[in-house]
Structure 1
Amino acid sequence: MTSATDLLADAFDRVREAVHEAVKGLTAAQLTERPDEKANSIAWLVWHLTRVQDDHLADAAGTEQLWTADGWYDRFALPFPVSATGYGQSSDEVAAVRVNSRKLLTDYHDAVHQRTVAFVGGLRDADLRRVVDEAWTPPVTLAVRLVSVISDGLQHAGQAGYLRGLVRRR
């Protein structure tokens, strides 16, 4: 029988696959194209979904984010505070997410993914009931947090895939 943690790991694998497909073969310029001045770019979407996953999983695991622990903040060299995840960013801030290649995005995402599946793989079903955020009513359990990160990741990866189609048609 498949466990809950096996299902969660599979879902995170699907986010990773969608991220790789969305950026495959694109240039740095294509990654930062936006359909209009208010829209997100592929680079921003992938950076944001990876930052959220890194932030939320590190918090749940009680570890430092890879963003700082492994120097991704310095490699990306974005004009944001180290704590920025993209949540609530302005159009100008979205435009500031520029990368020199898709490899930077996928390498960061792969590092976060690897840590994520290792963390999820070490969980037991009982661990999923642990409350990780009491700021909500009802309080957020680890299971709910993980599903939320997966949902956010799949939505943003899907948006990036849609933008990929627009960019490639131009």
Structure 2
Amino acid sequence: MDLLEFATEMFEEYRSRLYTYLDGLTTEELNWRPDSSANSIAFIVWHTARVEDRWFQVFCQAKTDLWIEDGWFDKLGMDKNQPIAKYKPKELEDFPILTMGELKSYFEVVRAETQKFLANISTDELGKAPGRSPFPESSSASAFAKFTIQRMFRQLIQEEMQHLGQVGILRGLQRGLDK
């Protein structure tokens, strides 16, 4: 198995496990936070979709992200320049209530573009560094701009798996084990 096959399978594995954790959750459960400084499942799913959108559209292809290009900010009732991370408790409190349909719709559009990119890139291109950051507003922008595409895979897969665990914990806190 080469790196491209591995990455493709890991992104599919993430989707499969994520949907298992999301299965049957109500809008209330999706948006529940265990305390004022914690993220909700909805926030985490939205955040990971936004991050994937920026890595594959902005970083890999120098395109406008789908968030802006397809008007997802408007569809989800948010600002075009909605921060992706580092929310304070008051900002988390004010984060919009998102439904399962909204979350999955945005995630699926992003994932379809990710799959299209993965299907069309050659293994020779994986070692190239596009030379741009998907998060120019971040303190890590200069480090991200040095990433190769294969290094980005490591970053994104690790982040998605970390957040997947958080989603599982939040589900378990609300429903108990395996429910």
Q: TM over 0.5: same fold? A: yes
SS at 1:136 equivalent? helix
* Cα root mean square deviation, aligned: 1.9
Q: Within the alignment, does 1:163 sit opposite 2:170 as a pair?
A: yes
1:66 aligned partner? 66
Inter-CA distance 137–99: structure 2 relative to 1 (3 Å threshold): closer
SS at 1:132 equivalent? coil
Name structure 1 gaps, 5 residues minimum.
none
Inter-CA distance 137–121: structure 2 relative to 1 (3 Å threshold): closer
Is contact 1:45–1:160 with CA below 8 Å preserved after alignment? yes
Inter-CA distance 76–165: structure 2 relative to 1 (3 Å threshold): same
Paired amino acid for 1:123: I
1:52 aligned partner? 51
Q: Within the alignment, does 1:140 sit opposite 2:164 as a pair?
A: no
- Identity percentage of aligned residues: 27
- In the alignment, the residues of structure 1 paired with residue 17 and residue 90 of structure 2 have an alpha-carbon distance, to the nearest angstrom, of 26
Is contact 1:38–1:91 with CA below 8 Å preserved after alignment? yes
Inter-CA distance 22–91: structure 2 relative to 1 (3 Å threshold): farther
SS at 1:39 equivalent? coil
1:4 aligned partner? 3
CA shift digits 1:56-92 (9 cap, x unpaired): 11111222211122221111112xx423352222122
* Superposition deviation, residue 126 in structure 1: 1.5
Is contact 2:27–2:99 with CA below 8 Å preserved after alignment? yes
In the TM superposition, structure 1's runs of 4+ consecutive aligned residues that sit over 4 Å from their partners are: none
- In the alignment, the residues of structure 2 paired with residue 137 and residue 97 of structure 1 have an alpha-carbon distance, to the nearest angstrom, of 27
Q: Which has the higher contact order (CA 8 A, sep 6+)?
A: 1
Is contact 2:126–2:149 with CA below 8 Å preserved after alignment? yes
Inter-CA distance 137–120: structure 2 relative to 1 (3 Å threshold): closer
Name structure 2 gaps, 5 residues minimum.
133-141
2:159 aligned partner? 152
SS at 1:95 equivalent? helix
Trace 1:84-99 onto structure 2 (pairs within 5 A): 84-99=82-97
Q: Scaled by the length of structure 1, what TM-score is found?
A: 0.88
